[in-house]
Structure 1
């Protein structure tokens, strides 16, 4: 009898041990690794997965092909630092306290998704551009660029707070450091790695390997390149045009126009500078021989802008490919969420502009692709309204961690459980800066069919766009006969969202002029 009891106990212990091991293994399998790749100013219309036929982004496309491409992904505030603050905290700018790049200071002591993942057993790291001054919290490791960072031979801030200069091109270096961290991590714990790229931020300085990559392409002018901004007072007073604002030396690397030289170029070592001078020197000599003026010069600037922009994006996509290859090589692909997004959209000549800020589509909308094997069906295209605000709660949801009530975004994962699911039917926006590029502060709401914007401070006006009839947002129909009911309905939606998100500043601005 004793032997039978002993045998039974042994079987139960062994079963329990195997069950515990299976539970542990299952927990690891059920708790995906996470890689979030954030670029800077990379426009959705600059990506081949989004329909650009003149450029190739095979690795961003690869994420979309293996998962989902979101065609209606938006930001809460189209400016670099505030967008990252929203991604990190899952809260609007007025709640996380970082409203603009000029006057705001980010409080790293506040809650963020990394703190919850770390407490839940994840290894966490942020590498590259963060653009939120101060000491990051919630990360086991960070190695970040100071402020905007530099394209060539950049400095990085490590965990000890020291600035360390690294030789090379920034996009390659960020990927190198990311892979070094992945190599050193504990393989028995899940991880969350945020890779923050500087590319494709102004001044669009490509890797030397990509100089001239698109020189054979003649990019067509957007139909509204010579937009006259009729009926749009805020657009009329901006200072972000390729014609008047883009600088020959600073932006387009025509160094004879820069009396003191350009700091980004002066950082180069001898070999880098030799390749730069050989490439851009020949372009400048050709420009001077042509003596262009008027529209011919404006359109020359447009072509140079896009060639540099897309060439800068080439290294971004190539290094995203390195990340994906690493995951496959180390058999991590099947249990890793990969998200690629930009901190906002960007103008590539639409309305005659570069830069971002406005709630108009090219700036307001961001590229967002995501793969999650076993959860997201490969090749999915989503038309649902999602936001950068949703990244934090989505990651926590995937990790099986409850999102705190203060997070204002929503998990996107329910969208992949039912075709009928949606997490919102309207998106709310609020931009605060009242200096750079003379863009007026504004707030607004957008549905799939209409967009209502309230400009204040610099310009005091309302704008309403019928997105089906006018997708390029050139005709402000606010106050026009036939749109009274739509205007009233959109204002009601706007007021509802302002109250929902507890935006007191917006409420004051709405109440100050409700014509």
Structure 2
């Protein structure tokens, strides 16, 4: 069988419930809805470490944090036995693997690598990152260079994607017009690569920065949604929502500890505006795919790296195992081989993308993932439990998620706290049920411990065959300052 084209399209911080065809009755996403009609929609898809860098290393390696060494954005956490070289530790990256299988490869957009200019194995790699720590990094950013060289009238802007720091969760408007935002630029570059003539099939990765904050859609998408038509955040009891001490700490870190309902509704309006704008950009990419004679032989996978609380559970940002943070949109379409317009409830995750791409290429590697296409096309067995990991093993920030059937268990080492939710009866996770169903807690706890014993790098997260716990301690509150260091701006000051 001829190898299909494989195209991965990714957004940053897009909640699964922020797409029209997923059931959202407000946001308009005609092109993502079109993509859903083209194939399969997975309703139980997860980012197993719901934060930027760990999720991206999972996608490019097919490995979980116990192999990648990325449990949060704080840098590598490896055992003495684990090699420091990423690919020696995890295996060849997905683009390098696909190149070896005969594919023309290109990657466009945000990669969030360590180091910033890491070689990922693409024949063509075109970068656009959010923040620049050095002048070298700014000069190496293809989008920043595009603005500097082709639209110098906007070259003075310190933060091209919107202001951060104390403005991170303030409603904003893009500082550049819709035609030259980073999303439009990424779509333009993707169309060029898709239309490129080559006898080989293509493997492409298009990674949009949005709708990650700052929430700054361009005109006219900044005024597309009326804040008064937005619902308020869904909040539970504070003692349940803040059992995960990460949430109040993160709120303060990003200047979002006291967002009232009117501001939350305004932020959601801008969030939806950004999503609809990105949807328009994705439409141009889908048009380019369909314009080729092999459009139906193109496997497209759409997903995000994690969600955003958007005020739900009294929280903003991500890094929790609440659905708003860890559940992601997950669309797989391959018209020549897969059904169209159908929903699936199997447990899938970002780790599985490596297996999906290599299955289509004819040489599948599941690595730490599951054979999702095999489950669909060959009736292979789906996973029974899905696990999530966050925070350095052996530290108070370590957390575990277990999904099984209708249930979700969350364990937090800080205080040894446990949460249990029934997602069928309580999709908003407002009713913590661990005291009511001790047998369910025990079954899921044992499943997690059994999984942990398989991986030496998780040994520090256990003690005497149980989850390691620590006396509860709230971290000292801090603020993060996110300015453009490449322009010499590091704090609130005038140089």
Contact preservation (8 Å) 1:70, 1:381 = yes
1:277-298 deviation digits (Å, cap 9, x = unpaired): xxxxxxxxxxxxxxxxx9xx71
Q: In structure 1, how many angstroms separate the alpha carbons of the residues matched to 2:250 and 2:313? A: 10
Q: Quick check: 1:494 aligned with 2:448?
A: yes
SS in 2 for 1:52: coil
Please point out which of 300, 310, 313 is paired with 1:338: 300
1:432 to 391, 408, 414: 391
Change (3 A) 1:240 1:400: same
- TM-superposed deviation, 1:190: 0.6
Normalised by the size of structure 2, how large is the TM-score?
Answer: 0.78
State how 1:236-385 maps to structure 2 within 5 Å. Answer: 238-241=248-251, 247=255, 298-385=260-347
> Which residue, out of 379, 392, 398, partners 1:441?
398
Corresponding position of 1:14: none
Per-residue Cα deviation, 1:333-387 (whole angstroms, up to 9, x for no partner):
1110111100012223321322111111111110011111122111110000011
Of residues 152, 166, 169 in structure 1, which corresponds to 2:181? 169
- Higher Cα Rg: structure 1 or 2? 1
Distance 1:237 1:219, change over 3 A: closer
The whole-number CA distance in structure 2 between the counterparts of 1:229 and 1:46 is: 27
Q: Does residue 1:463 correspond to 2:419, yes or no?
A: yes
Scaled by the length of structure 1, the TM-score of the pair is 0.75
Q: Which residue of 1 aligns with 2:243?
A: 233
Tell me, what secondary structure is at the counterpart of 2:462? helix
Contact preservation (8 Å) 1:234, 1:440: no
The 8 Å contact of residues 126 and 194 in structure 1, kept in 2 or not, is answered as yes
Contact 2:143 2:185 in 1 (8 A): no
Aligned-residue CA RMSD in angstroms?
3.0
* Alpha-carbon distance change, 237 to 61 in structure 1, aligned in 2, over 3 angstroms: closer
Shift of 1:459: 4.1
CA drift of 1:206 comes to 0.5
Aligned residues: 422
Residue of structure 2 aligned with 1:76, choices 35, 44, 48: 48
Q: Retained in 1: the 8 A contact 2:241–2:314?
A: no
1-structure distance, mates of 2:375, 2:139? 38
1:363-417 per-residue CA deviation (whole Å, 9 max, x = no partner) reads: 111001111112211111000001100000111011001427xx11122112322
CA distance in 1, matches of 2:247, 2:283: 41
Alpha-carbon deviation of 1:507?
4.3
Give, in angstroms, the shift of residue 217 of structure 1. 5.2
Cα offset, 1:195, TM superposition: 0.1
**1:208 Cα deviation from its structure 2 partner:** 2.3
Q: Which residue of 1 aligns with 2:32?
A: 60
Secondary structure at the counterpart of residue 44 of structure 1: coil
Tell me, yes or no, if structure 1 residue 121 matches structure 2 residue 102. Answer: yes
Contact 2:415 2:470 in 1 (8 A): no
Q: Deviations over 1:118-140 (max 9, x none)?
A: 01110111100011123222210
Per the alignment, do residues 231 and 165 of structure 1 end up closer, same or farther by CA in structure 2, a change over 3 Å counting?
closer
How far the C-alpha of 1:483 sits from its partner, in A, is 2.2
- Secondary structure of the residue aligned to 2:328 is coil
C-alpha spacing 1:433/1:304, structure 2 compared with 1 (3 Å): farther
State the Cα distance separating 1:85 from its structure 2 match: 0.5
Equivalent position to 1:450, from 407, 416, 420:
407
Q: 1:448 to 1:157 in 2, by over 3 A?
A: farther
One of 61, 64, 68 as aligned partner of 1:92: 64
DSSP-derived class of the 2:99 partner: helix
2:216 matched to which residue of 1?
205
Cα shift at 1:421: 4.7
Q: Counterpart of 2:165?
A: none
Deviation at 1:506, TM superposition (A): 6.0
Of 43, 52, 58, the residue aligned with 2:15 is: 43
Mapped partners of 1:417, 1:324: distance in 2: 24
CA displacement 1:431-454 (0-9 Å, x = unmatched): 1179xxxx9431121112222222
Structure 2: runs of 5 or more not aligned: 78-83, 152-179, 472-495
**Relative to total residues, which structure has the larger helix share, 1 or 2?**
1
